[in-house]
């Protein structure tokens, strides 16, 4: 992921500054603050700001005046209890703000989570960069036959190469036409004085969904965990899952006890329906039960069997 010289200078300037505070800070997160974590071919995730830590969750749950005399193991147990029993408000006491660079089609999927404050790069005000996402060949796959919004097997190498050529050619052509319609360079200077340029808010509609956009995304810890539980799931689209994976790395640095509980009860756990729980109880009791007798649909049954490793 190339970083422009002016962007690098901005990052170095931000990282060179420090402030004295009485608020809780997290050394592990401070160490990577403002630093971009590469995602996909041109994207990144970086933490811009945060508020609170593991102790803030504990403090909110106990409504105490400070960290108190509780041991880490007691805090770990309380955080696990809160997450396990869906006591969500203590997690709302922590907030984090990310700067994310991502393909437009990923952004449109991401924005469905209406639980954050978002400010996106303006294509009406600024000229969009000539950067677009191209998947690696192994991530070019056919439509899944069992999931209408998923992928199946990878394309054969020759077909994958042809698709990549088409994606690259289309993106390059659309940006070339975008630049022509603007009649401006990146600094906003007119390229051809003999003609007028199209308004930026209109010229941008020519660009395809694989072009990159950027935004600031601020949310509380509770809603971040909800986002990650969906987007870090194995069934999530690859291109958004890799962003969620990068954000989990920041979660580990920011609130390690919460991250541990999150992996235990959300990522590594499973939620069972009443019918599924009945089936499990019968299996434990040694009873034989199959899908028709379970009262579950074929899809529910197969999902349960997958969870149980059967």
Catalytic residue among 46, 200, 204, 231: 231
Residues pairing with 141 in the sheet? 154
d(CA 108, CA 92) in angstroms, rounded, equals 25
Contact indicator for 99, 48 with CB cutoff of 8 Å: yes
d(CA 11, CA 15) in angstroms, rounded, equals 6
The 10 Å Cβ neighbour count of residue 280 is 15
Residues pairing with 214 in the sheet? 101
Classify residue 266 by its DSSP letter.
I
What order of strands is seen across the sheet that includes strand 37-39? 37-39, 43-51, 95-103, 212-220, 117-120
Tell me if residue 231 is catalytic: yes
Q: How far is CA 233 from CA 189, 241, 245, in A?
A: 46, 7, 9
Altogether, the residues listed in the chain come to a count of 310
- Residues serving a catalytic function are 231
């Amino acid at each position: 992921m190339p970083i422009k010289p002016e962007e690098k200078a901005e990052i170095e300037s931000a990282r060179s500054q420090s402030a004295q505070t009485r608020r809780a800070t997290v050394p592990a997160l401070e160490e990577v603050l403002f630093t971009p974590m590469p995602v996909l071919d041109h994207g990144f995730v970086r933490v811009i700001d945060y508020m609170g830590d593991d102790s803030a969750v504990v403090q909110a749950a106990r409504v105490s005046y400070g960290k108190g005399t509780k041991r880490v193991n007691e805090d770990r147990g309380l955080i696990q209890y809160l997450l396990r029993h869906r006591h969500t408000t203590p997690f709302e006491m922590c907030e984090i703000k990310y700067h994310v660079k991502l393909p437009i089609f990923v952004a449109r999927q991401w924005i469905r989570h209406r639980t954050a404050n978002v400010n996106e790069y303006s294509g009406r005000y600024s000229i969009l960069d000539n950067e677009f996402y191209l998947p690696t060949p192994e991530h070019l796959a056919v439509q899944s036959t069992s999931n209408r919004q998923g992928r199946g097997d990878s394309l054969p190498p020759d077909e994958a190469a042809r698709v990549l050529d088409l994606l690259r050619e289309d993106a390059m052509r659309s940006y070339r036409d975008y630049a022509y319609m603007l009649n401006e360079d990146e600094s906003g200077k007119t390229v051809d004085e003999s003609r007028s340029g199209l308004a930026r808010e209109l010229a941008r509609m020519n660009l395809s969904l694989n072009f990159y956009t950027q935004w600031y995304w601020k949310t509380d810890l509770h809603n971040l965990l909800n986002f990650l539980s969906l987007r870090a799931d194995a069934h999530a689209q690859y291109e958004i899952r890799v962003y969620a994976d990068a954000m989990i790395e920041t979660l580990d640095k920011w609130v390690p006890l919460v991250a541990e509980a999150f992996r235990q009860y959300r990522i590594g756990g499973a939620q069972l329906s009443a019918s599924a729980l009945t089936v499990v109880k019968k299996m434990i009791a040694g009873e034989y039960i199959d899908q028709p007798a379970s009262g579950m649909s074929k899809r529910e049954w197969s999902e349960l069997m997958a969870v149980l490793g059967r």
